[in-house]
Structure 1
Amino acid sequence: MTPDNSQENRPMLGHDLPIPTYEEATSSRAASDFGAENEALLEQHGASSSASASRRRGDGYMPPTVESVRSSMESSFLEEFASPRSSAESLRREMVQMEIMEAGVEERRSSKWRLSFSKRIHSISSSLSAISLPTVSWRNPFRNIHFSFRMPNIPSVPCCANIDQSAMIPIYRLLAILAALIVVYIILATDALGIPGAMDSAYMGPFDADSVRAFASREIDKGKLRHWLEYISSFDHMAGTEGDYVLAKYVQGQYSSFGLKSERMQYDVYLNYPKEGGRRVWMDEPKWEAALEEPVADKKHPNTMVFHGHSRSGSAQGPVIYANYGSRDDFKVLEMQGVSVKGAIVLMREGGSQKDRGLKILAAQERGAVGALLFTDPKTEGWNWPETAVQRGDVALSSWIVGDVLTPGYPAIPDAHQMSKQNNKGLVNIPSLPLSFKDARPLLLSLKGKGSRVREDWTSGVPMVDEYWTGSLTSSPTVHLQNDQVERDRQAIWNVLAEVQGVDKLDEKIIIGSSRDAWCFGTSDPNSGTAISLEIARVIGRMMEFGWRPRRTIMFASWDAVKFNSIGPAEFIEEATAPAAASSILAYINLDAAITGDKFSASGSASFQSMMSTVLSRVKDPASHQPLNSTWNKNMPGPLPSGAGAPFQFHAGISSIDLSFTGKGHPYHSCSDNYAFMKDILDPTFAYHETLTKIAIFLLLELADTEIITLSMADYSAALETYITDLDGFVKDATNADPGKRGLNMDPLHKALEIAKGHMRKFFERKEAWMEIGKDGQYVQMDEWAVANRRSRGLRMGNFDKHLCDMAPKGGLPGREWFRHLIYSPQKWKENPSGYFPSIRDAIEDGDWALAQREVQKIATIIERASRKLLDESTPS
């Protein structure tokens, strides 16, 4: 008999409680309105909602009024990172603030079982009136296990034989209740029966993998996905603001309600915010001023102001010059036409041949521009982009530094040394602002007949602009740009983490993460990923109730400030790698802009290819109803996109993959990306949310609940061969374009590839007794030596990407040492996003062939060494 999944028969969990609005959550009356659980979750001390809204909008965006620190009811599972911020004092302070403890009462940490037991006794005592000597029955949904027993009848008492038995009934009932309590106490205290709910649902595995997947699949609830997405999208939550803090506490509360151990990690980082009245773009002749702000669609939910994250504060003026997508090639075209941008305000389109907006501005800055304006082109977007929508975004130089630009390479913890913002490798030095294409139209029209007429591929899709011209320094109208903003060098942000301890106590971890902060409401990006992550955590919690546990520890992460140069995950990784704790993280799954279309996409390490094909064979496409592996592009996953996964793959060498459904146009980084757009256009039935939840859970189980982690070295071997062949073509083209150069000797890389292929083939084909599987699907040998061998094999595959990193002191990519992965890191200018071996390509593009040759030798050595470690950690075979 399978469990009933109907809403009426499900127990009430934390997320089923009434959810406060944003104003209620940030007001002082939130707790009394929504009960004790939400009091601990959402109470904010301070002003009323109206005052809070005023304070929040006064000079742009204000941080929350409640001090935030890491918190946990029990010992921190992040102690391995040796953070100075996990302290009893900080915990006591926050518990007082959240009214979990009374001020002045010393904290007392009870043991885990005592805390759990006291909660359960309270639950039992509240329902004693329903006890009528029942038959106790329970069925495990993962296996065909069922047991029952009946409470015994109360015997007669000989010495009281002459007493009216009806008068003894209350006494009998009291004795029965006391006996039942004693039995329940013994069961709970000893986990004798492993009944769900007893002692945190003691592990009752191993479980049949097919049954576990079937249960997980049945448990996914589209209604809850819809519910979470609607709430999370109901107020803005830019990094470091009140809305962000409220949502951090909410997500943490949800994790706890699912039975997961959770806590918050705070970092103090550099963030900037727009200032009311501080941003303007205008011309005096012809007379014109940009609207800048987007129209408010819902007065209950005000828009965030339009700006660029990490932009330079200040003002500039100069003639406007149109530079297409702002790539280096585009600026070369202008130079060939005799058009200079020195002292100009440069107008550029978003996307195209240079997708990184920070690098657009840097390219203009290097050629002497004093300011930059970026607009979203409906022709580039490929759909009817709203004319008043504005694409916000970060302009930090994320191909140079990822994370907090003032603390590169080390975590932004209290008292961390901060670099200067001046001449910072991660920041541009000229002011910029984003525009709607409606605002861009007058600027494009003002250039007609000035400078050079552009070629066809420079024309945009802005309506009512019939001719496109570059403009010139002498004839273009003067544009004024003002970008006065609020800058906070140590603004608090909050990662929220939750953990499911694996039955293997050796601290191997699989992390599944999603970004939480948004430029506005962020329904598709990133809230669709957050909603899916919450549903996965809820399903995992349900499985735990029946005694299931993963073999490896699963960590859920809700990252903050991802929109600001992936700060949240980068600071976590920088802190985690400081004491080499990242060696225990075997893989990372990322869910950011999870649902923006109907085409499945998987990007990341090639080691996931076979695993993804297996997972997708078990999931059907919502449109075709065919297994997704029949419609998915079966080539290797593409390069990992910038975002929350970047620090894991590029800095720490943790095998990572990003999952999403893409393909439809959506108002990216605009306030038009709201819940209405999702339910009316992107995913009305939430079928794609449900499908991606299923894919992510199945992938998580493959990584966390198999005897040997199922990353594929055979796929990685084939990928390396493809990457090197592609690099050969790149080198040949560069040599032909500059025949005076001596070229590049690629022999070391080819020799290393052949050696690596041999090692990886030997590793893949290895057959030993401890690998033998019986007819029941279980390993035959279960002694400690066999288990250790299987664990070692999994660890070596999980560490393969780490071994492709240059972890030497001052190692990494030349001039961009934050990036350590020598194959998968992005190029310096990222104009070729599919380019692997970035240091070799960068050196060739810079004309430094000697450096390119040194990088060929270094990478060849690392590839050979990494493959050798698959067979033996120290000696070559």
Structure 2
Amino acid sequence: MKLKFDWSVRPIVNVIGYLRGSEEPDKIIMTGGHRDAWTFGGRDPISGTVSLLESARVIADLAQKGFWPKRTIAFASWDGEEYGLIGSTEYGEEFAEKLQGEMVVYLNRESYTAGNFSAGGSHSLQPFINEIMREVNLPGDSLTIYESVIKRVDETKLVTHRGRKDVRLGALGSGSDYAVFMNYLGIPAINFGFSASNGIYHSRYDSHWFFTTHGDPGFVYGEKQAELVAIFLLRMANADVLPFTYSSTTETIDRYLDELDEELKKRDLNESIHLAEIKAANAELHATATVLDGELRRISEMSAAEIDRQVDPIKRLNNLLLKAEQGFLYQDGLPGRPWYRHQIYAPGFYTGYGVKTLPGVREAIEKKDVREAEQMSKVLTETLDQVRQTLLDAVVVAAAITKSRSKHTQK
């Protein structure tokens, strides 16, 4: 066998289009996917690129008709993803400070095929994702995407939120362009879409013929995905109060802590490693998040005229909600991996794309490193406290808004 490699250096190019917001142009709702491929790339990534461009076309058409988003919507086409997420990572690292102050959320959309729907990402967005899943039907079906998922998953994949069943989001590790936003910058990130087993991943069989014959004949799933993405972007861009629900995050962290208890039992480490301080910090965070949920619900019931009277306080509230996820970052990162700073989600040290939740503590337990587990338990507790403090500040601002409403009503 004779192998030939091309190790030459070439430039890569990210292409980003912005539709500037009419009221808060400095706040960005971004969606993106890569366009480079291993071979022909009929599915990975061109299917996602085409679907994303359709979402952009629809939103641009609405803007031309006068329906302009309040916040900026950005569409990114990343280069160099297959070589190690280079395009998105370089962008995130170069503009880190600006993005942490301006980017509200990143939605990752690359390839898809006709099949089942799934979603993963920041759990503060779990109720919001369920909301938009209820808005779009499957191709040629009376069932919504939400109803189709509910029918095929078991109860462990569901959670009750405000009296209704919601589908749990999965957790994100790595393997696509959301990595820099979530793992390094602490910006809420989501990855969703349709998929099915196909056997052509990163091969020369990933062609236009395969995709139009087997992947998604007629592009009917691509149309639904474009619709879902457009709804996500427009609702995020136009929401009076950003739709983050941190009680969903704390409920999820509780489940992860239950998993760590089982890991401790399996390794007979119950007497050596203790999770009590983490659990207490998360309980306090959950209590704060629950109070904030109530205040946000009251704000959501305000009329447009009442909202208009509270523009500046609501901007302050949204800035705190935007900042909250960054509280999960630890600036020194994970042991041996300083770039991975998020303490709730990260790819595993040995799992490639696969996620490890509460990664600092979990991986220390897995290798029976008691000292490291104690150190990372302290780090995790501190990050939970950081987020709690931000949410406490948000509660104060939100309560002032609702109190002002009560005073105005009394007058």
TM range (shorter): 0.7 to 0.9
Give the distance between the partners of 1:625 and 1:723, measured in 2 at CA: 35
Q: How does 1:663-742 map to 2 (within 5 A)?
A: 663-735=196-268
Change (3 A) 1:767 1:516: closer
Change (3 A) 1:781 1:846: closer
- Structure 1 residue aligned with 2:6, among 450, 475, 486? 486
CA deviation map 1:5-27 (0-9, x unaligned):
xxxxxxxxxxxxxxxxxxxxxxx
- Structure 2 residue aligned with 1:526, among 28, 37, 45? 45
The answer as to 2:128 corresponding to 1:615 is no
Give 3-state SS (helix, strand or coil) of 1:780's partner. Answer: helix
Give 3-state SS (helix, strand or coil) of 1:493's partner. Answer: coil
- Tell me which amino acid in the other structure corresponds to 1:582: Q
CA deviation map 1:137-190 (0-9, x unaligned):
xxxxxxxxxxxxxxxxxxxxxxxxxxxxxxxxxxxxxxxxxxxxxxxxxxxxxx
Change (3 A) 1:619 1:767: closer
- Check conservation: 1:618, 1:627, Cα contact below 8 A: yes
Give 3-state SS (helix, strand or coil) of 1:673's partner. Answer: coil
- Check conservation: 1:611, 1:702, Cα contact below 8 A: no
Give 3-state SS (helix, strand or coil) of 2:5's partner. Answer: strand
- For structure 1, the residue ranges without an aligned partner over 5 or more in a row are 1-279, 281-481
Aligned-pair distance for 1:556? 0.7
Aligned-pair distance for 1:795? 2.5
CA deviation map 1:738-779 (0-9, x unaligned):
xxx9521111101101111111111111269866523xxx25
The answer as to 2:275 corresponding to 1:782 is no
Question: Which residue is 2:407 aligned to?
Answer: none
The answer as to 2:280 corresponding to 1:747 is no
Question: Which residue is 2:365 aligned to?
Answer: 844
The answer as to 2:329 corresponding to 1:805 is yes
Question: Which residue is 1:760 aligned to?
Answer: 289
- Check conservation: 2:106, 2:188, Cα contact below 8 A: yes
Give 3-state SS (helix, strand or coil) of 2:55's partner. Answer: helix
- Check conservation: 1:601, 1:659, Cα contact below 8 A: yes
Give the distance between the partners of 1:820 and 1:779, measured in 2 at CA: 41
What is the aligned-residue identity percentage? 26
- Check conservation: 2:130, 2:167, Cα contact below 8 A: no
Aligned-pair distance for 1:732? 2.1
Aligned-pair distance for 1:834? 4.7
Q: How does 1:428-467 map to 2 (within 5 A)?
A: none
Give the distance between the partners of 1:621 and 1:728, measured in 2 at CA: 39
CA deviation map 1:452-474 (0-9, x unaligned):
xxxxxxxxxxxxxxxxxxxxxxx
Give 3-state SS (helix, strand or coil) of 2:14's partner. Answer: strand
- Check conservation: 2:263, 2:366, Cα contact below 8 A: no
Question: Which residue is 2:161 aligned to?
Answer: none
Flag the structure with more relative contact order, 1 or 2, with Cα contacts below 8 A and sequence separation at least 6: 2
Give the distance between the partners of 1:536 and 1:840, measured in 2 at CA: 40
The answer as to 2:173 corresponding to 1:637 is no
Give the distance between the partners of 1:527 and 1:484, measured in 2 at CA: 27
- Tell me which amino acid in the other structure corresponds to 1:588: Y
The answer as to 2:25 corresponding to 1:495 is no
Give the distance between the partners of 1:637 and 1:753, measured in 2 at CA: 19
Change (3 A) 1:742 1:714: closer
CA deviation map 1:388-429 (0-9, x unaligned):
xxxxxxxxxxxxxxxxxxxxxxxxxxxxxxxxxxxxxxxxxx
Give the distance between the partners of 1:657 and 1:539, measured in 2 at CA: 21
Give 3-state SS (helix, strand or coil) of 1:661's partner. Answer: strand
- For structure 2, the residue ranges without an aligned partner over 5 or more in a row are 154-165, 397-411
Question: Which residue is 1:140 aligned to?
Answer: none
Q: How does 1:10-89 map to 2 (within 5 A)?
A: none
- Check conservation: 2:320, 2:393, Cα contact below 8 A: no
Give the distance between the partners of 1:666 and 1:853, measured in 2 at CA: 43
Give the distance between the partners of 1:771 and 1:661, measured in 2 at CA: 31
Which has the greater radius of gyration? 1
- Tell me which amino acid in the other structure corresponds to 1:639: A
Change (3 A) 1:635 1:734: farther
Give the distance between the partners of 1:759 and 1:559, measured in 2 at CA: 38
Change (3 A) 1:598 1:781: closer
Change (3 A) 1:696 1:767: closer
Give the distance between the partners of 1:835 and 1:623, measured in 2 at CA: 37
Change (3 A) 1:691 1:504: same
CA deviation map 1:476-525 (0-9, x unaligned):
xxxxxx6552323x420000011010012450111100110001111111
- Tell me which amino acid in the other structure corresponds to 1:618: E
The answer as to 2:107 corresponding to 1:574 is no
- Check conservation: 2:348, 2:355, Cα contact below 8 A: no
CA deviation map 1:809-868 (0-9, x unaligned):
xx1111100111011111111279353011112222333210111101110111122022
Give 3-state SS (helix, strand or coil) of 2:7's partner. Answer: strand
The answer as to 2:101 corresponding to 1:583 is yes
Give the distance between the partners of 1:813 and 1:697, measured in 2 at CA: 35
Give the distance between the partners of 1:794 and 1:665, measured in 2 at CA: 42
The answer as to 2:42 corresponding to 1:513 is no
- Tell me which amino acid in the other structure corresponds to 2:243: T
Q: How does 1:26-425 map to 2 (within 5 A)?
A: 280=1
Aligned-pair distance for 1:677? 0.8
Give the distance between the partners of 1:833 and 1:517, measured in 2 at CA: 22
Give the distance between the partners of 1:721 and 1:532, measured in 2 at CA: 36
- Check conservation: 1:494, 1:560, Cα contact below 8 A: yes
Give the distance between the partners of 2:20 and 2:353, measured in 1 at CA: 41
Question: Which residue is 1:833 aligned to?
Answer: 354
- Cα RMSD, aligned residues only: 2.2
- Tell me which amino acid in the other structure corresponds to 1:626: L
Give 3-state SS (helix, strand or coil) of 1:825's partner. Answer: strand
Give 3-state SS (helix, strand or coil) of 2:268's partner. Answer: helix
TM-score, normalising length: structure 2: 0.87
Question: Which residue is 2:114 aligned to?
Answer: 597
Aligned-pair distance for 1:869? 0.7
TM-score, normalising length: structure 1: 0.42
- Tell me which amino acid in the other structure corresponds to 1:762: V
Change (3 A) 1:679 1:723: same
Give 3-state SS (helix, strand or coil) of 2:393's partner. Answer: coil
Question: Which residue is 1:791 aligned to?
Answer: 315
Give the distance between the partners of 2:297 and 2:234, measured in 1 at CA: 25
Give the distance between the partners of 2:18 and 2:45, measured in 1 at CA: 21
Q: Aligned pair count? A: 380
Give 3-state SS (helix, strand or coil) of 1:858's partner. Answer: helix
The answer as to 2:82 corresponding to 1:550 is no
Give the distance between the partners of 2:214 and 2:4, measured in 1 at CA: 36
Give the distance between the partners of 2:80 and 2:130, measured in 1 at CA: 32
Change (3 A) 1:532 1:831: closer
Give the distance between the partners of 1:665 and 1:540, measured in 2 at CA: 31
Question: Which residue is 1:867 aligned to?
Answer: 388
Q: Which structure: greater helix fraction? A: 2
Change (3 A) 1:554 1:850: same
Change (3 A) 1:553 1:852: same
Give the distance between the partners of 1:824 and 1:536, measured in 2 at CA: 29
